[in-house]
Amino acid sequence: MASSLPPGSTGLPFIGETLQFLTDRNFVQKRYQRHGSVFKSHIIGRPTVFMVGPDAVEFLLSSGFDNFSWRDGWPDTFKLLLGRSLFVQEGEEHRKNRRLMMPAFHGAALARYFSSMEEITQQHLKKWEQQQTLQWYEEFKQLTFDIASQIFLGTPPGKETERLSQLFTTLTSGLLSFPNLPGSQFKKSLAARNALLDHLAIVINQRKENPTDDALSLLLDAQDEEGNRLSFEEIRAQAMLLLFAGHETTTSMLTWFALEVARNKDVYQKAKAEQQTFSDAVTLEQISKMPYLDQIFNEIERLHPPVAGGFRGVVKPFEFNGYSVPAGWLAQYSILHTHRLPEVYPDPEKFDPDRWHNTKQKPFSLIGFGGGSRVCIGLAFAKLEMKLVAAHLLRHYEWELLPHQRLEPVQIPTRRPKDRLRVIFRAID
Ligand code: HEM
């Protein structure tokens, strides 16, 4: 017997359920409760299948990989603003580029970046100590952007990185805009993209003349066993993507770390006690020996994933759970709601790092960095950076939430507390 389309409603003609999807925080959750892990809708002009829960996500990211296209899943604005970068590459082109880029984000390269991360973190801590009152989300954004531009491009913190950071903010706000609408944000974002590309061209040419040990030099040098290298345009597009993908996401997780630790004093005390077992300076060797801090970051990733989900285009019809989905549809795997399923995580709304103590995790149940062969390339880099910053904060500082602020989450473009987390910050030595 031929299987049917997944259950669900496709909403109004043309706009479908786009408005509900963008405005209702519980859009996926409500439909999951009604229909289960696979259901249909119609958003952003296309029939869409939503896939929620470890089994459905495993199908999309791993076993059913060939049915889906990355490029076809992102809106055109992403392709226009971020260029031919890893996000929108597929097949052989993606495999080649990813292989050439991998060494810049793992092993020996990470160890080399550690001292730059440490130095820039210290500068920001000193500045925060003097400021005393912080809007911490904005401060973490400057910190993570300074780290990214130093390590990826060799551009040290200062006026130039402030300008670049501003350009990125303008670029990011056009990612979900309407390119053809008069007065749309998209035009400003395109101008910001062009200014960033001009800057990258200068930096790449300089680095060709004078190689250093930043990630850009590694990308310029990279060669695989077949003799493939990244072209100038490829390096420029990938560097742009790395700066984009590599700072707002870590900003988001650091902000939620600071917020959850502030409102869960027992967690703060336990995490601080773990840090007190180390000598004063934070070293690379120590970073892998902080199991409780790992538990906290797992729980932050679960409860506050910076990216709520990922889109793909369906390029080959497929069957899942007895339903069939035709080619041409959009597919979304839900990170946010997979992390909140009570059958996977009992009492899912509770912030509880202890749930990660000695637990064996079901595959594809913690997917804040995606999963499968296209898992986030910056995962190890991000974890190193976040743990380094957190270790400093826990050893030498305390912070208090300022009253009268809205802490409820805003999810787009990356998850943050509505008022960007305002705190009083002080050293405790
Ligand atoms: C807390 C920090 C981060 C989070 C939560 C995060 C999250 C993600 C997620 C969910 C994906 C998969 C998207 C999908 O399946 O559609 C992804 C991919 C990616 N991320 Fe990250 N990311 C983080 C940090 C970074 C950093 C620091 C970099 C750069 C060094 C980076 C670069 C990338 C790239 C290039 C991809 C595309 C990989 C591919 O398609 O092969 N990310 N990230």
Q: Which of 69, 214, 373, 376 has the most ligand 1 atoms within 8 A of CB, as the residue to mutate?
A: 376
The angle at the Cα of 194, spanning 188 to 195, to the nearest 5 degrees, equals: 90
User: What is residue 2's predicted lDDT score, i.e. its pLDDT?
Assistant: 54
Question: Which atom of ligand 1 is nearest to 306's Cα?
Answer: 5
Write out pLDDT tens, residues 121-137: 999 999 999 999 999 99
Is a pLDDT exceeding 90 seen at residue 361?
no
For the chain, give the mean pLDDT: 94
Structural contact between residues 388 and 282, judged by C-beta atoms closer than 8 angstroms: yes
Distance, CA 244 to ligand 1 centroid (Å)? 10
Geometric angle at alpha carbon 150, from 410 and 97, rounded to 5°: 80
Two tokens at 132? 């005393």
Q: Is 371 in the pocket of ligand 1 (CB under 6 A)?
A: no
pLDDT tens per residue across span 253-269: 999 999 999 999 999 99
Rounded mean pLDDT, 278-294: 94
The domains of the chain, with CATH numbers, are: 18-427 (1.10.630.10)
Please write the tens of the pLDDT for every residue from 187-197.
999 999 999 99
State the pairing for strand pair 38-43/68-69: unpaired
Which residues fall within 8 angstroms of residue 309, CB to CB, at 6 or more apart? 28, 332, 333, 334, 335, 336
The rounded Å distance from CA 425 to ligand 1 centre is 30
Mean pLDDT over residues 270-292, rounded? Answer: 95
Q: Interior CA angle at 237 toward 234 and 239, to 5°?
A: 105
